[in-house]
């Protein structure tokens, strides 16, 4: 028997998606602050400390759970949306940047999923949103953002968001995949995660990629994204603050006068 609330859902859109969750009376969905889009009449919104999971019993448990969320860059608080009326009502949550929303049924994943710290969007009440430390010393020293990840535990539905296109890989026993650390969205708990040095002085200094790979070894499922938000942000920042490249223009800087950038 499931301990988490059982919710129905529908995902809408292509590049900027939203997930619409259908709640029966007394059912609740939880979400990160800022994910809310709209809700039907009869749904009450409440800010809660931590994630509202029954797995964190007592005030001390809630304090520890909320404190761990700070380490992943999230707020101490989450928002709970409870249907207090009759019939069915819907609440929707939107993706924060172009990409895909991935539905994850934790009951089919052994009750636990590990994901990047900024990928969680919303879930059924009862799903615990915690923190996962990578225990290997190499991962801790060189893993960067991949060292501290989120873990979703429970037997309900959870929804993650990824940038660009999402690809799911099923790794067989002993099969290894080397991935840019920012491209990992989530993986099942059986996956062995580690960090590997790229190697070669030319690769290290002139390769244009990271110095380290994430290595994922099966068995298990892995979800990958083509556009990590960190990569998108760095490109936008470099375009906005660096010198403009006049991509093939024979006018050079003079061309800026004709397109309105005459500073």
CA dihedral 58, 121, 27, 189 (to 10 degrees): -70
Among the ranges 129-133, 243-247, 255-259, which has the highest mean pLDDT value? 129-133
Are 45 and 81 in contact, with CB atoms under 8 Å apart?
yes
CA–CA distances in Å: residue 127 to residues 10, 68, 181, 226 = 19, 16, 25, 27
* CATH of segment(s) 8-242: 3.60.160.10
- Token readout for 27 is 């059912």
Q: Which residue is it, tokens 């936008």?
A: 236
What is the pLDDT at residue 75? 54
Indicate whether 127 pLDDT > 70. yes
Give the best-scoring range by mean pLDDT among 33-37, 70-74, 143-147, 247-251: 33-37
CB atoms within 10 A of CB 104: 22
Residue 75: count of CB within 10 angstroms of its CB: 13
Q: What is the pLDDT of residues 220-244, one digit of tens each?
A: 999 999 988 777 677 777 776 655 5
Tell me how long the chain is.
Answer: 263
Q: Where are the domains of the chain?
A: 8-242
> Is pLDDT at 1 greater than 50 in this prediction?
yes
Report the sign of the C-alpha dihedral through residues 220, 218, 72, 168, in that order.
negative
């Amino acid at each position: 028997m499931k301990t988490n609330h059982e919710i129905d859902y529908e995902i809408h859109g292509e590049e900027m998606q939203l997930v619409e969750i259908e709640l029966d009376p007394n059912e609740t969905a939880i979400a990160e602050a800022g994910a809310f889009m709209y809700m039907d009449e009869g749904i009450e919104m409440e800010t809660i400390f931590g994630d509202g999971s029954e797995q964190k019993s007592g005030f001390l448990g809630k304090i520890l759970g909320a404190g761990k969320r700070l380490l992943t860059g999230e707020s101490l608080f989450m928002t709970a949306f409870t249907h207090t009326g009759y019939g069915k009502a819907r609440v929707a949550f939107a993706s924060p940047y172009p990409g895909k929303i991935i539905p994850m049924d934790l009951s089919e994943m052994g009750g636990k999923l590990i994901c990047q710290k900024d990928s969680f969007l919303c879930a059924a009440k009862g799903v615990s949103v915690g923190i996962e430390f990578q225990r290997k010393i190499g991962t801790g020293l060189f893993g960067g953002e991949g060292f501290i990840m989120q873990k979703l535990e429970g037997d309900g539905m959870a929804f993650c968001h990824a940038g660009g296109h999402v690809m799911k890989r099923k790794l067989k026993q002993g099969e290894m995949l080397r991935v840019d650390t920012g491209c990992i969205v989530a993986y099942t708990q059986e996956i062995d995660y580690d960090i590997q040095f790229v190697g070669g002085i030319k690769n290290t200094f002139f390769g244009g990629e990271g110095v380290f790979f994430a290595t994922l070894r099966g068995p298990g499922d892995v979800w990958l994204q083509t556009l990590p938000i960190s990569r998108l942000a760095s490109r936008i920042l470099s375009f906005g603050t660096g010198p403009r490249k006049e991509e093939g223009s024979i006018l050079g800087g003079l061309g800026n006068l004709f397109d309105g950038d005459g500073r």
